[in-house]
Structure 1
Amino acid sequence: MARISASVYTSHVPAIGVAIDQGRTEEPYWQPLFAGYAASRQWMLENRPDVILLVYNDHATAFSLDMIPTFAIGCAPEFKPADEGWGARPVPVVQGHPELAAHIAQSLIQQDFDLTIVNRMEVDHGLTVPLSLMCGQPPADHFSWPCKVIPIAVNVVQYPAPSGRRCFQLGQAIRRAVESFDEALTVQIWGTGGMSHQLQGARAGLINRAWDNAFLDQLIADPATLAQRPHIDYVREAGSEGIELVMWLIARGAMADVAGGPPPRLRQRFYHVPASNTAVGHLILENT
């Protein structure tokens, strides 16, 4: 059977992608951030999965206010990098895994999640920046990223967003779906977005270090309680865009300890302020 070996959590700040693409990673402003991912890139080389389930939010690229799925899964064989207004990022086309994606879609729908199936979709920085941080930057004309990727898009842009509780439940359903797939695949699940940041209004530029680090502590040790936090806590403490952190609960819900297994092994924890106007958080948890 397929199995989830680890979960990865990381911010997906668009300016990080710009710094990578423009060769600015060693500049004094950016160097501390990229140094914080060096051990994670080595871990990725040593623990390369067959497939990544990458949970992210689309930023009005594949979807718009005309059509807003709460949860969507990419079932296509490939996903091209999107042009977000300044040209597509110079990275490879993302190779999907249609067979596993279709299996997950069927399993989740049978578990009463009304999932949107997407057979053609471009992917923006929400998906490609985490891949660059964890895998390095292959040239755009390279055949592919190191492993296949199934995009799982979550609406955290337009109200109403799904609750942390529902996201946590979705992660549990994803684990059951993966484990029922009749092929020996090693799968990682990544939760992306956040941490605290607000892009507009009177609190534009808000960063809350204490809340961010308390979130990381509880995500590791007590995710079930964390999943009960209402939306207003995220908005009040982490800013209007801090709601992206509910996507981390999808990845955490897919870990074995949530279903009665042993606690995960913490392999990496990193926190940095700022990247553009965002706090950056990062974890790697391994199933044991």
Structure 2
Amino acid sequence: MAKIVGGVTTSHIPAIGNAMSKKLEQDPYWKRFFDGYEPVKAWLDEVKPDIAIVVYNDHGLNFFLNQIPTFALGCADHYENADEGWGLQTLASFEGDAQFSWHLVESLIRQDFDMAMCQEMLVDHGFITPMALMWRHLPKWPVKAIPLAVNTVQHPVASARRCYQLGKALRRAIESYPEDLKVVIFGTGGMSHQLQGERAGIIDVDFDLLCMEKIINDPEWLTQLSNTEIMEKAGTEGIETIMWLVMRGALHPNVKVVHKHYHAPISNTGAGVLVLENAEMTAA
């Protein structure tokens, strides 16, 4: 049976990709941010997952404002790095697992989640930056990767509660797969930031830290907030934090905190990192 070894939260802003490309990890502006990922890399090296499911939002590469699915899952054996711009370095493409993806889609649809199924899917910085943060130090990607795109761009977007429910359904789908696979789930995006308008550059550190604590111990708290309430506190792009709830819903109710780190600002963004490991459970 496939099992979820844990979940990781991370920002995916393109400035991180530029910093990695230019090898600025030890630059005073970036050092504390990148230092926060060393324990994440060590944990991944220890647990050695077979598959990474990356929950992210597409930034106009596959889906534009005229047609955006609420939830879309990659169902391919191969994903090309084809970012939409930002001057980011093109990284190696990613191996997928179409058989596993189709199992997930079929299970999710049976659980009343109407997924868009993508047999061809390009991946942008929302997907690539997390993968590079975790494994750029290795000669090749050590896992198969599956993109799970959540619309956080064109409103109306799914609620925090719906994303949490998707995570729970994803857990059931993964754990019903008969092969012995170890799966890690990345919840990406956020934290508080806004790119436009009078509040451009907003960072609410207190709200970010509260969200991190609630994601760990009381994720239901965040599901009770409307999208408007989240954006009022975290900024319009801070709504991306709902994607963390997909990851958290996929884990068991009790989790072990392996690592927690927060740093701001990074490119006018609050950046939170969590590594949550599934606690031993007698029942799912």
- Using the size of structure 1 for normalisation, the TM-score is 0.94
**Secondary structure in 2 matching 1:12:** coil
Contact 2:192–2:237, Cα closer than 8 Å, also in 1: yes
Name the counterpart of 1:54: 54
Question: Deviation of residue 88 (structure 1)?
Answer: 5.6
- Counterpart code for 1:236: E
**Secondary structure in 1 matching 2:195:** coil
- 2:77 matched to 1:85? no
Name the counterpart of 1:231: 227
**Secondary structure in 2 matching 1:278:** coil
**Secondary structure in 1 matching 2:81:** coil
Matched residues in 1 for 2:133 and 2:164: separation? 25
Question: Deviation of residue 90 (structure 1)?
Answer: 3.1
- What 5-or-longer segments of structure 1 have no aligned partner? 258-262
Matches within 5 A, 1:108-123: 108-123=108-123
1:161 maps to which of 157, 161, 164: 157
- 2:141 matched to 1:145? yes
**Secondary structure in 2 matching 1:7:** strand
- Counterpart code for 1:6: G
Question: Deviation of residue 89 (structure 1)?
Answer: 2.9
Name the counterpart of 1:135: 135
Give CA deviations for 1:36-75 in whole Å, capped at 9, x if unaligned.
1111111111112011111000011111112100000001
1:209 maps to which of 205, 211, 215: 205
Name the counterpart of 2:269: 278
**Secondary structure in 1 matching 2:73:** strand
Question: Deviation of residue 85 (structure 1)?
Answer: 2.4
Contact 1:91–1:137, Cα closer than 8 Å, also in 2: no
Change (3 A) 1:245 1:183: same
Matched residues in 2 for 1:234 and 1:109: separation? 28
Name the counterpart of 2:13: 13
Matched residues in 2 for 1:14 and 1:47: separation? 27
Range moving further from structure 2, 23-32 or 166-175: 23-32
Matched residues in 1 for 2:53 and 2:234: separation? 25
Matched residues in 1 for 2:171 and 2:49: separation? 15
Change (3 A) 1:189 1:86: closer
Question: Deviation of residue 87 (structure 1)?
Answer: 5.3
**Secondary structure in 1 matching 2:101:** helix
Matched residues in 2 for 1:111 and 1:87: separation? 40
- 2:44 matched to 1:22? no
- 2:98 matched to 1:105? no
**Secondary structure in 2 matching 1:219:** helix
Matched residues in 2 for 1:61 and 1:159: separation? 18
- Counterpart code for 2:19: A
Question: Deviation of residue 116 (structure 1)?
Answer: 0.1
**Secondary structure in 2 matching 1:201:** coil
Matched residues in 1 for 2:278 and 2:265: separation? 30
Contact 2:14–2:86, Cα closer than 8 Å, also in 1: no
Give CA deviations for 1:17-38 in whole Å, capped at 9, x if unaligned.
0000111221111111111111
Name the counterpart of 1:124: 124
**Secondary structure in 1 matching 2:264:** strand
Matches within 5 A, 1:169-188: 169-188=165-184
Question: Deviation of residue 83 (structure 1)?
Answer: 3.2
**Secondary structure in 1 matching 2:53:** strand
Matched residues in 2 for 1:238 and 1:176: separation? 31
Question: Deviation of residue 91 (structure 1)?
Answer: 1.6
**Secondary structure in 2 matching 1:275:** coil
1:200 maps to which of 196, 202, 207: 196
- What 5-or-longer segments of structure 2 have no aligned partner? 280-284
**Secondary structure in 2 matching 1:19:** helix
Question: Deviation of residue 137 (structure 1)?
Answer: 4.3
Number of aligned residue pairs? 279
**Secondary structure in 1 matching 2:123:** coil
Identical aligned residues as a percent: 47
Matched residues in 1 for 2:227 and 2:53: separation? 24
**Secondary structure in 1 matching 2:7:** strand
Range moving further from structure 2, 36-45 or 166-175: 36-45
Matched residues in 1 for 2:202 and 2:189: separation? 15
Matched residues in 2 for 1:185 and 1:102: separation? 15
- Counterpart code for 1:271: Y
